[in-house]
Amino acid sequence: MKAKTRVRIIFLFLTALAIGFPLLFLTAPPVPRHLGPEGIAVAFVENLTNANFEAARKLVTPESAETIHLFETLVGSQSDELKSRPTHFNVSRSEMNLAQDTLFIEGKLFFSNKHKLIRKIKLVLVNREGRWLVDCHDNNIF
């Protein structure tokens, strides 16, 4: 093989790498933002406030499913309005009770675009079979 041919092959290979790697990073799925029990709390509140009730149900204890259904019924026709007003939840404080595998979380719910405080929220998370779930069966989220 001639030297010019080798140079062209190397140039094509480097060009493919230069184009391929950025495309790979752009098409890769995002790294999950919510990890651990505090992340579960954030995901739960944000799903609930954005009327994504199916996703919120996956993050609660079986006893709390009825509370989510009640909240979904109360919201009813306002779910489109909730989806158009994005929110975010910041954890202010968390306290672990190791004897009962329970985590108490306090946080603040804000409108995303205005950074205006909507309300303070207290959540209880319990560890069930190695998985953290929100326990809201006593309607403590309202």
Specify which residues 121 forms β-bridges with: 107
Residue 138 three-state SS: coil
pLDDT for residue 32: 47
The string of DSSP codes covering 36-51 is HHHHHHHHHHHHHHTT
pLDDT for residue 6: 84
pLDDT for residue 18: 79
In this predicted model, what pLDDT tens digit does every residue of 74-98 receive, in sequence order? Answer: 876 666 666 667 777 888 888 888 7
User: Is the pLDDT at 142 greater than 60, yes or no?
Assistant: no
Residue 30 three-state SS: coil
pTM (whole model) above 0.85 = no
pLDDT for residue 31: 41
Identify the CA nearest to 141 among candidates 97, 110, 107: 107
Q: In what order do the strands lie in the sheet with 102-111?
A: 87-97, 102-111, 117-128, 131-134
pLDDT for residue 45: 87
pLDDT for residue 24: 60
Q: How would you class 74 by CB atoms within 10 Å of its CB: exposed for 0-12, middle for 13-18, buried for 19 or more?
A: exposed
User: Is the pLDDT at 25 greater than 50, yes or no?
Assistant: yes
CB 134 within 8 A of CB 59: yes
Highest mean pLDDT out of 23-27, 28-32, 124-128: 124-128
